[in-house]
């Protein structure tokens, strides 16, 4: 299945993956949250949009 993050990216996740009710947060966003949000590098992951 796929999940759309708040950042707009769509990620392939396991069908067994648990998506929080408040919305899926992609690993990239989680990574950003772990780091300083002051880092404005918006390079991001490469996603294929269908």
C-alpha angle 31-11-43 in degrees, rounded to nearest 5: 50
Give me the least distance between CB of 28 and Zn ion, in Å please. Answer: 5
Residue from 3, 10, 13, 29 touching Zn ion (CB under 5 A): that is 29
Over the Cα atoms of the chain, what is R_g? 12
Give me the least distance between CB of 48 and Zn ion, in Å please. Answer: 15
**Residue 5 binds to Zn ion (criterion: CB under 5 A):** yes
**Residue 32 binds to Zn ion (criterion: CB under 5 A):** no
What φ, ψ does residue 24 adopt, rounded to 5°? -75, 140
**Residue 13 binds to Zn ion (criterion: CB under 5 A):** no
């Amino acid at each position: 299945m796929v999940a759309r993050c708040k950042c707009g990216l769509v990620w392939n996740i396991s069908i067994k993956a648990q998506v929080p009710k408040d919305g899926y947060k992609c690993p990239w966003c989680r990574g950003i949250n772990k780091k300083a949000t002051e880092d404005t590098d918006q390079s991001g992951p490469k996603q294929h949009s269908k």
